[in-house]
Every structure is written in structure tokens, then in C-alpha cells.
């Protein structure tokens, strides 16, 4: 897929670090992907670390899906704005016990319109599956939020063998190609869905 930035302007891409656990590897993977996205040249890249935001697991009685402009905890305002501003999102996630981290689910559930009609990509890492178990479940969750998950993903099975001590890939060719394929999709869908959201807002 090929496309051009709208009016010569790059799309806003939020790269979300999903893991918040002690000793996490997520920031290394997210930094690698953010660098690829910046080199791609069609996105303004915004690195979003969920560890920087309080994410209560207890939701209010009326969920965001029914009251999208509901009041959220004060410390969540920055995250909400960055998701709102994004034209596309990439979630960087491990899999824990064959699923994705609770922090990712909390960030998703505290929002609704911020995901709607936007393309979502995934970068996964884990010991065996490369995060695929988490990614496949996240596809179902985002479908319920009327987001579009792109087909291509980047995965790192046995990530601890693939990255060197400085956080650089020992053999970057394959992952770089996978990142390029996903960024192509994110750009194509990002352009289309940005215009669709704009047209819907004008019609309203």
C-alpha cells in the first residue's frame, strides 16, 4: 500500500508501551519501532508510556462507551489527549499468561471515541510466541471499539536473543521489513480514516 501525507503533513502516530511491570523490556522494543517510524518519514511519532499514567482497574458505573466525554482521573488527561490526537496507534505488548497486560486493557477501557475509526498496529515480544497470543486477543477487543487493526504486525519471539546489550537488533533486516510493511498499512488506512472522521464531523 502506498499513500501521501494529507496536505503534505505527516500523520500523528502514538506508539504505546503497554507493559508497566518492573524490569520490563517494552521501552527497548518501543524505542526501536519509534526510530523506524521516524525514519519512514510520514509520521509524527509520539511515544506513550502507560507507566506514566495512573490506570485504575475499577471503572465508573457508566462506561466510556456510553458516556464518551465522561470525567476521568486527573492524571489521565495527558494520555487521553495523546490518544485523541493520534491518527494511528501502535501497541507494543508482551503476552502474559497467553494474554495481554492488564495495563493495556485498562487504557483501552477508560477510552472509547479515542480509538474509533483509527488504524491500530501491533509490535509484540515474548519468550515463545513473540506476543502473537496477546495481539490476536487485542484484535477482537479493538474491533468492538470500531477501530481497524492492520493485518501486518512485528513480533519478536525470544526477544532476549534478538536484541544486543545496547538495545539494537543483532539482525535487523527481517524486523525492519516487517515494520515497513506495517507502516505502509498504517499510512494508507490512516489517511482514509482521517478523511472519513473529518467528513463525519463536518456532516454532524
Cα–Cα distances (Å) from 46 to 16, 90, 98, 202, in that order, read 8, 10, 28, 27
What integer pLDDT is reported at residue 7 of this predicted model? Answer: 62
135 assigned to some structural domain? yes
User: Residue 4: pLDDT band by 50, 70, 90 thresholds?
Assistant: very low
pLDDT tens profile 36-73:
999 999 999 999 999 999 999 888 887 777 776 777 88
Place of cell 477510552: 111
91 assigned to some structural domain? yes
Classify residue 102 by its DSSP letter. Answer: H
171 assigned to some structural domain? yes
77 assigned to some structural domain? yes
60 assigned to some structural domain? yes
175 assigned to some structural domain? yes
Checking if the pLDDT of 203 tops 90, the result is no
Cα–Cα distance for residue pair 199/18, rounded to 1 Å: 31
Q: What is the pLDDT averaged over residues 15-39?
A: 97
What integer pLDDT is reported at residue 3 of this predicted model? Answer: 43
132 Cβ neighbours under 8 A, 6+ residues apart:
95, 124, 153, 155
Residue 12: domain span: 8-203
Complete DSSP assignment for 114-155 = TTTT-EEEEEEEESSSTTHHHHHHHHHHHHHTT-EE-S--EE
Write the CATH number for 54.
Answer: 3.40.50.360
2 assigned to some structural domain? no
Residue 165 C-alpha from the chain's centroid: 25
1 assigned to some structural domain? no
Name the domain count of the chain.
1
Cα–Cα distance for residue pair 133/53, rounded to 1 Å: 25
What integer pLDDT is reported at residue 27 of this predicted model? Answer: 98
Torsion angle, CA of 184/189/190/195, rounded to 10 degrees? 140
Do residues 81 and 6 touch, judged by C-beta distance below 8 A? no
What integer pLDDT is reported at residue 164 of this predicted model? Answer: 95
pLDDT tens profile 58-112:
888 877 777 767 778 889 999 999 999 999 999 999 999 999 999 999 999 999 9
Amino acid at each position: 500500500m502506498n499513500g501521501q501525507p494529507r496536505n503534505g503533513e505527516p500523520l500523528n502516530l502514538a506508539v504505546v508501551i503497554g507493559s508497566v511491570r518492573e524490569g520490563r523490556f517494552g521501552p527497548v522494543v518501543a524505542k526501536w519501532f519509534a526510530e523506524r517510524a521516524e525514519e519512514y518519514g510520514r509520521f509524527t511519532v509520539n511515544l506513550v508510556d502507560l507507566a506514566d499514567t495512573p490506570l485504575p482497574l475499577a471503572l465508573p458505573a457508566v462506561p466510556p462507551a456510553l458516556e464518551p466525554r465522561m470525567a476521568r482521573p486527573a492524571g489521565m488527561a495527558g494520555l487521553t489527549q495523546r490518544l485523541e490526537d493520534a491518527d494511528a496507534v501502535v501497541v507494543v505488548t508482551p503476552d502474559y499468561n497467553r494474554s495481554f497486560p492488564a495495563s493495556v486493557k485498562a487504557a483501552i477501557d477508560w477510552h472509547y471515541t479515542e480509538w474509533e475509526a483509527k488504524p491500530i498496529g501491533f509490535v509484540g515480544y515474548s519468550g515463545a510466541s513473540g506476543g502473537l497470543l496477546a495481539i490476536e486477543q487485542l484484535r477482537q477487543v479493538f474491533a468492538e471499539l470500531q477501530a481497524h487493526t492492520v493485518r501486518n504486525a512485528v513480533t519478536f519471539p525470544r526477544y532476549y536473543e534478538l536484541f544486543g546489550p545496547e538495545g539494537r537488533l543483532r539482525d535487523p533486516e527481517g524486523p525492519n521489513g516487517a515494520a515497513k510493511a506495517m507502516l505502509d498499512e498504517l499510512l494508507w488506512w490512516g489517511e482514509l480514516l482521517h478523511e472519513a472522521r473529518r467528513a463525519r464531523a463536518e456532516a454532524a
